[in-house]
Amino acid sequence: MTSPLESLVLFYLGPVPITLAVVTTWGIMIILITGAFLLTRQLDLTATKRQAALELLVDTIDNQIRETSGAEPAPYRGFIGSLFLFILIANWSSLVPGIEPPTAQLETDAALATLVFLSVIWFGIRGSGVRGYLRSFAAPNPVMIPLNMIESVTRAFSMFVRLFGNVMSGVFVIGIVASLAGLLVPIPLMALDLLTGLVQAYIFAVLAMVFITSAVEDGAHHSKHKPPHSPN
Amino acid sequence: MTIDWWTLGLQAINVLILMWLLSRVFWRPVAAAISKRKDAVKAMLDAAKETQAKADAALAQVAAARDGITKERDTILSSAKCEADAATKAALSEAREKAEKIFAAEKASLARDTDTARIETTKQAAELSTEIAAKLLQRLSTSSIQEAFVSRLIKAITNMPESDRAALAQTTDGIDLVSASDIKAADKAKITTSVQKALGSTPTITFVTDTDLIAGMEIRTSHFVLHNSWQSDLAEILKELNNAAQ
């Protein structure tokens, strides 16, 4: 068993090393996009059970975004929903024998946290403008600017560490138990890992939405030239 | 522990691509389907509300029309009742007047018929009674009755106005003494003497028999008749009865 902190390089594309996590991510992407394409081919006014399940998923995510941000979910649905689905499938991919979840690798979680960090900036500027977004760092007073700037980095860092720690620890524990106690003993831990993967995906998506909402609302609140509004 | 920045960048790009693709093939179509269904449901609800509003309006219109019909029916019924009452009263009044007229006419007709019948009956009764009396008196034709009639004749001559008696006494054509039965010769002479004495002259006296007199003795000339018989009495009685009946 290799260290979970090391990436297994499968091959190189020029100078770019292609790790197992990247390949697994490609696999997950293919599965998600193909599945989404197949599932959404024949959407109609009269919903089938399949369409009703898809609409239930989308509606649930929309409600979650609406309850968290208070704004219309359309601008955030693609980012937050895709983030949730990818992390969920990536976490649950550990149940497939021989597959190591991409989220158990530092680089994947760091990439996700980086995307959240950048999306907070993007949605903040989109909602309040550059001045409004920058002014949000001076809340409640300019003294807090350094702390707010550090906070914007550390909270993304905490998200990445939380996700990595939980998923990596689950995989690591299951690996150790499986190597010590045989085939059937890790099953309860794998079931627990299912719950952990779902909860972590939910936490990551909700926290991303909270951070985005905070940036949008703070920017709108402190903007002198623009009235507060939701980004639509 | 080291971080492979190439992997970090690749994973970020991978996730970004995944987000972009999922947005196009999953989130947008499903959200569009939801929005389409919501729009369809909203359109159906709007149509249903509009239909309901139309139905409510039609119902209100029907209710108003029904109220109007009810009021109109009540008015018509009231008017018809008043007209019927008036027509009934008029018909009753007319019928009463007609009945009263008919009753009065019938009453008058009945009275006339009754009077006519009563008069006719009275006449018939008078005629019948005179006939009965005549038949009964015929059986009483005796000499004493004859003498009584001769006495009444003499008395009647005596009671005549002087001028009439003188005219009767001076008649040249003779006087007929009419009796119901033949008179014996001795009686004729006696009667002739009494009459001439009453007249105060001696005219020619001829005795004539007329059974229609029933009983009695009458004087008849060409210009004068002195009735003195039961026939004349009965005729007089019948005449009076008829006059009394009318």
pLDDT tens-digit map of B28-55: 999 999 999 899 999 999 999 999 999 9
pLDDT recorded at residue A229: 44
Q: Span B147-158, mean pLDDT?
A: 88
Q: Of residues B153 and A217, which shows the higher confidence score?
A: B153
- Name the residue among A43, A47, A110 with its Cβ closest to that of B8: A110
Amino acid type, B24: R
How many structural domains are present in chain A? 1
Confidence at A2, pLDDT banded by 50, 70, 90: low
Which of A230, A79, A74 lies closest to B35, judged by CA? A74
Residue in chain B closest to A55 (alpha carbons) equals B30
Q: If you average pLDDT over every residue of chain A, what do you get?
A: 87
Distances (CA, A) of A23 to A6, A146, A169, B242: 15, 39, 21, 161
What is the distance in angstroms between the Cα of A75 and the nearest Cα belonging to chain B? 11
Within an 8 Å CB–CB cutoff, is residue A114 touching chain B? yes
For an interface test with B, give the residue of A13, A28, A37, A159 to mutate (most B CBs within 10 A).
Answer: A37
Give the Cα separation of A219 and B233 in Å (integer).
160
pTM (whole model) above 0.80: no
The verdict on residue A232 lying in a domain is no
Percent of chain A, pLDDT > 90?
Answer: 48
What is the distance in angstroms between the Cα of B1 and the nearest Cα belonging to chain A? 6
Maximum CA pair distance of chain B?
Answer: 212
CB atoms within 10 A of CB B196: 15
Give the Cα separation of A111 and B5 in Å (integer).
9
Residues in B closer than 8 angstroms to A39, CB to CB, are 26
- Listed in sequence order, the residues at least 6 apart from B183 whose beta carbon sits closer than 8 Å to its beta carbon are B146, B191, B207
Do the Cβ atoms of B242 and B130 come closer than 8 Å? no
Q: Span A45-55, mean pLDDT?
A: 88
Half-sphere exposure of B86 (CA within 13 A, CB side): 6
pLDDT recorded at residue A221: 64
pLDDT recorded at residue B120: 84
Within an 8 Å CB–CB cutoff, is residue A37 touching chain B? yes
Domain limits of chain B?
142-229
Model confidence at A223: pLDDT above 80: no
- Name the residue among A36, A77, A83 with its Cβ closest to that of B25: A36
Do the Cβ atoms of B18 and A22 come closer than 8 Å? no
- Name the residue among B7, B19, B40 with its Cβ closest to that of A45: B40
What is the distance in angstroms between the Cα of B30 and the nearest Cα belonging to chain A? 6
Work out whether the CA dihedral A54, A56, A59, A60 comes out positive or negative.
negative
Write out pLDDT tens, residues A27-49: 999 999 999 999 998 888 888 89
The verdict on residue A228 lying in a domain is no
For an interface test with A, give the residue of B5, B30, B38 to mutate (most A CBs within 10 A).
Answer: B30
CATH number for the segment(s) B142-229: 3.30.2320
The verdict on residue A4 lying in a domain is no
pLDDT recorded at residue A222: 60
Query: Is A111 in Cβ contact with B22 (below 8 Å)?
Result: no
- Name the residue among A22, A32, A59 with its Cβ closest to that of B34: A59
- Name the residue among A16, A33, A74 with its Cβ closest to that of B22: A33
Q: Where do we find the tokens 């010590």? A: A180
Query: Is B11 in Cβ contact with A21 (below 8 Å)?
Result: yes
Confidence at A227, pLDDT banded by 50, 70, 90: very low
B window 23-82, beta carbon within 8 A of A? 23, 25-34, 36-37, 40
Structural domain containing residue A121: 9-222
Do the Cβ atoms of B30 and A54 come closer than 8 Å? yes
Query: Is B22 in Cβ contact with A82 (below 8 Å)?
Result: yes
Model confidence at B236: pLDDT above 80: yes
On the question of a cis peptide bond just before residue A140, with omega within 30 degrees of 0, the verdict is yes
The verdict on residue A227 lying in a domain is no
For an interface test with B, give the residue of A23, A38, A107, A164 to mutate (most B CBs within 10 A).
Answer: A107
